[in-house]
Structures are given as C-alpha cells and as structure tokens.
Amino acid sequence: MNIDLRVIGITGSSTMLLSDTGIDLTQWKQLLKKEAEPADIDSFVHHLSDNHVFPNKVLVDCTADTSVASHYYNWLKKGIHVITPNKKANSGPLDQYLKLRTLQRASYTHYFYEATVGAGLPIISTLRGLLETGDKILRIEGIFSGTLSYIFNNFEGTRAFSDVVAEAKEAGYTEPDPRDDLSGTDVARKVIILARESGLRLELSDIPVKSLVPETLAACSSADEFMQKLPSFDEDWARQRSDADAADEVLRYVGVVDTVNKRGQVELRRYKRDHPFAQLSGSDNIIAFTTSRYKEQPLIVRGPGAGAEVTAGGVFCDILRLASYLGAPS
Amino acid sequence: MNIDLRVIGITGSSTMLLSDTGIDLTQWKQLLKKEAEPADIDSFVHHLSDNHVFPNKVLVDCTADTSVASHYYNWLKKGIHVITPNKKANSGPLDQYLKLRTLQRASYTHYFYEATVGAGLPIISTLRGLLETGDKILRIEGIFSGTLSYIFNNFEGTRAFSDVVAEAKEAGYTEPDPRDDLSGTDVARKVIILARESGLRLELSDIPVKSLVPETLAACSSADEFMQKLPSFDEDWARQRSDADAADEVLRYVGVVDTVNKRGQVELRRYKRDHPFAQLSGSDNIIAFTTSRYKEQPLIVRGPGAGAEVTAGGVFCDILRLASYLGAPS
C-alpha cells in the first residue's frame, strides 16, 4: 500500500513524546527518555486533533486500562479514529458500548479492535464478514486463553494439575498471579465482545463464569501462598480428568456465545478425543463459528492468540484496514 | 453498512438481462427468461461502463472460464472493479498476472478474489494481512480440495480406496469425472495463487503435481470405465495406507507453498496422527500459515471450502470490502 504513516505522539503513563511531523521510529526509545515531557492524556489528544498537517488521525490504545478506554467516545466524536487491543470498552457497561457503536455507525470515524480477541488471529474480521454478508451466527465456541489452553493440553494424566500450573507459571505463560488466568474473567471479556458483535445485548455480569480458583484459595494473600495450597486440590482434578478419560474425552476451558438462546458462558467442558478442541497443542487459541452457512462443519481459526508480536500484527492490520477505508490504493 | 447496491446486469453464456437502475432480485430468474436478450460480453460491459447513474461499478465473474478471465485487464482499465471466485486469471500465465497486479497497484480500481481459495474461508485476506503488516511467510501448507479431503479422511482401512471414491462420487462430492479431482490440477491452481500472492514468480507448470490417476487409467474414455478399472489399484493403495498406519501416520493430499526455497508442490504426504491435518473430518479444507510471527505454531484456518453458499459468502464479502474501500461507512 502507498500510505504515508507517521507517528506524531507516543505516551506512557509517566512521560510522552510529541512531534508535529513524525517521530523517528529508529530511536523512539532514546527520544522518549531524552525529550519527553510529563504524560498528560488531554494535551496528548489536543496535540493530535490540533495537527492540520495530516488529513487522518488515529489513536492506538495499547493499554489494558479502563480509564483510557472511557475516552474513545470523545475521541471518535473529534474525528479521531481509534484502534485498540484493549478489551475494556467493548466488555464494559452495555449502554456505553451501544453509545460508541451508534456514534461510529453515524460517522465516518472508525473504531477497530481485531486484536481484542485472539490477538493477530482473524476472529473479529471473520465474524463481521459472516454477519455483514447475511450469515446467521448460531454458536461461537472457543478456547480463548492461551494459558488455560496450555494447562489443559498438558494435563494429560502424567502430572498433577498443580504441577502443570506451576510449569505454566515458570514458563511465563500465566499472569504473575495465576489466579488472574484461572478465574476466567479474561475469557468472559472475550465472550462478551463476540456476543455483542453478534448482536446480543448482554452485560459482563450476564455471563456465568466457572472459576478454576477453589473458593477457599480465592482469599490467599499472595500468589506464592496460592501455589503452595493448590496441590490439595490435585486429587479432585485427577478424578475429573480420569472420569473424562474413561468416556474417551478431555477437559477444556471454553467460552461460548449461544446466539440461539441469547446467552454466553465460560465453562469447563468435556470434548470427545476426535473433536478439534481436544487436538490442540501448545498454548493455541481455537475458535469455531457455527452459522447457517457453516452448520454441518464449523469455520475454525486456530493459532497463538497472545504475545506482543502477534498482537502488534493484529493492531497493524487494523491500521492498514483503516488506511484502505480512507481511500489508500491497495 | 449503508450501501446502495444494485445489480444492473446478469449474463449467462446464452442470455443476459440488463437494467439501467437495478434488477428486481426477487424475480431475476423469471426476468432472465422473459426479458432476456442474447448474451454478448462486449455489450454487457458497455452497459456497465456507460451507466452514469452509479459512481462505482463492479463486475462479478462467477464463471470458471479462461476467456472471461482474459478480459479483467481491460475492465479494470475502464475503471470497472472486478471480483471473482474464478481461479483462471491468477493461475494463468505469469506475465498476464503481473500485468494485472501492476495495473491494479497503479490505479484505484480494485480486484478481489477471496473465494478463489477455500471459498468463504478467510484465506487470501489472512495472507494479505500478514504480508502487509510485515510478516514473512515461510510456508503455506493445506488440504485445498474438499473432494480429496473427504476421500482421505474416509480411507481409514475399513473400505477399499475405490469404494471411498465411488462413495464420494455418489454423494456428489466429486466432479462428474472423478479424475478431474484426482489429477490435482485444481489444487495446483490454488497453490500457484497463494505462491504468487506471497511474492513467488512461478508458472503453473513450475508446480510438480502428484496425480492420483494411475497412468494407465488416464486414457479411459469415460468416467464409468475409469471407475470400473480403479479397483485394480486398491491393493497398492491399501499397502500405502498400512505402511503409513504402521508409522502412526495417515495419508493426506496437500498443496505446499515453500517461500524459503521459492517453490510450490502438490503431493501425497504422510502426517503423524496428532498433526492438525490428520484430524480432519468431512470434506473440510485446512490451511496452515507458518510465518516469522507464527513460527512455533502456525496460524490455521479450517472449514468447508467449497459449495455455492459459502462461495457466494466469500464473493459478497469482497463486494462489501470494495464498498468500504470506496468510502461507505461501516
């Protein structure tokens, strides 16, 4: 594509770097140290909207912050396009989400968020393509957490559940406190994003979430204490696993959007060994779309769904999509 | 999307139906019978380019015809966008393909062909997204033929190879003459499309194709004769299958784009039972992209990759993408 793409501002939570014509990206890190000023989101946005050198402006929110996400509406209203992997706006209060979508539909200002689900995997764009061409979504079912994918792909009977969690933690697959993954909250956010994209008007609180954190361990004051006490539940986990195994099934932690019954769910389910979800490896995500058009056999996307590089790929894809929409030749 | 989409012409090979303002799509079939005139591709295209009521015009080629595809260059030059599931232009002579791409890059006229590979599955768009965001394609490997997917997914030791082919034929999964599927030509066309999209300058004749039609049966004068003689090769097939089985592997007919060694190939390969290709069912397509970004674990798309409805979905997706590129609000 022939696009002239300039970064005219970079901000963290403490410092920001501004330029009227474009920051030299080969040395942005040094510049952010040397020439930065104290971060201020309002002046950052003014800097962007006051720039009249460039015709189109996009703000890319790479935080996971709720307060940053609360600004999208005003930014879009100012004519600033918004692109983000941040799940907070789309999984926040329904009325605010609907307000955002209504504004976007009424304007030529774009809001893209492909990387909120599955990072660089084509999930949102595939769903949109199906919906826009008149397909009817019946069910979206997926393993949306790389961490929980890894844990259940490796919990195969040779090691205790707590050992697999410890291994995932050591390999850096989990959050510093594995309870943040095991609670299922992040999966629920992805479910609500896909549910709303499919037309369901649900709040995050409408999604029943099966937490894998035992109730008695939710109160542990530290991740270390939690990890120390987790082995006391290994026996229960082993029983669940062998029960599944006896039925030629495996355990998987999945998110479900059921558009027929207008509900979403996050649960621990059992799948037959020949099911695509049973055959996963590594920390892959897998998402199956069952629709009027893909009814007998679903449309499935699978691959790594987390990590800086693939997330950046998803965000960059959105930036180029924006450029195309704004008329850049492809 | 808020787009005003009108069909102002429909043509088959014998008759065509034209309208200056839009054909009533609820009764196009009756109209095509009653009000049609003799088909003529030149006057059809003039009708389109002479229309000044609508600002943007797109010609959707839903044939599989080489001579229709040879017109794309001139249509694009006239400012008519082209969308097609027809593989002929992109898998035809390299110089003509390159001429088409050069013209397209230099103009604001679009040429989309998502449905040429995998019908409605997001294959071309995913590949483009990776390439445009700077990822490096290392390898694309896939089961691109629904027919051959079905045959090898069901050739599991209980039935003879010829029985599985007969079953596929009876179920309508094959072309009227199964040799058209078994020859691998159609898979080779998909491989060349993806290879060229990935930047390789290859001719169709550069792709070695393993034909599954025994040499002595290539000359059979009819499909019936071919089907009658196919059982004489069952023993050879059974041996290949049991050899694979002994190594805990299965046979799969795949297309490969190897960008590292700048070549493509269509071959019968063996895959370990835990490989995603071994776990296929029905007549699903599956395509795995191994890239710099998706190196440890590939990005995989899987699902039905043929049939009128999903192909129409892919074509319609391209039409809406075109509308977005032309500035329709999303």
Contact between chains at A281 and B304 (C-beta distance less than 8 A) = no
**pLDDT of B33:** 87
**pLDDT of B328:** 63
B329 pLDDT tier (thresholds 50, 70, 90) = low
Buried b (16+ CB within 10 A) or exposed e, A145-176: bbbbbbbbbbbeeeebbbebbbebbeeebbee
3-state secondary structure (DSSP) of residue B304: strand
Of the ranges A26-30, A50-54, A285-289, which is most confident? A285-289
Partners of residue A215 on adjacent β-strands: none
CB < 8 Å from B in window 144-203 of A: none
Q: What is the mean pLDDT of chain B?
A: 95
- B99 belongs to an annotated ligand binding site: no
Is 90 exceeded by the pLDDT of residue A319? yes
% of chain B beyond a pLDDT of 90: 90
Is 90 exceeded by the pLDDT of residue A326? no
Residue A83 CA from chain centroid, whole number = 13
Work out how many CB contacts closer than 8 A connect A with B. 124
**Which residue in B33, B34, B190, B262 is the catalytic one?**
B190
State which amino acid sits at residue B46: H
**Domains of chain A, first to last:** 9-121+309-325 (3.40.50.720), 124-303 (3.30.360.10)
**How far is residue B214's CA from residue A279's CA, in Å, rounded to a whole number?**
34
Q: At what angle do helices B308-325 and A124-132 cross, to 10 degrees?
A: 100
Q: Which two structure tokens, joined as six digits, stand for B189?
A: 């066309």
If you ran DSSP here, which 8-state letter would residue B246 be given? H
Nearest CA in chain A to B319: A133
Is 70 exceeded by the pLDDT of residue A327? yes
- Considering only CB atoms, which chain A residues are within 8 Å of B301? 122, 299-302
Contact between chains at A301 and B298 (C-beta distance less than 8 A) = no
> Residues in chain A, how many?
330
- ipTM value, please give it: 0.95
B48 pLDDT tier (thresholds 50, 70, 90) = very high
- Considering only CB atoms, which chain B residues are within 8 Å of A302? 276, 299-302
Gyration radius from chain B CA atoms: 22
**Segment A171-226, tens digit of pLDDT:** 888 999 999 999 999 999 999 999 999 999 999 999 999 999 999 999 999 999 99
Contacts of B245 (CB under 8 A, 6+ apart): B157
3-state secondary structure (DSSP) of residue A96: helix
Burial of A299 (0-12, 13-18, 19+ CB in 10 A): buried
A166 pLDDT tier (thresholds 50, 70, 90) = very high
Q: Which of A94-98, A290-294, B35-39, B236-240 has the lowest mean pLDDT?
A: B35-39
Q: Tell me if B323 sits within 8 A of B330, measured CB to CB.
A: no
State which amino acid sits at residue A209: V
Q: Is A77 a catalytic residue?
A: no
B310 pLDDT tier (thresholds 50, 70, 90) = very high
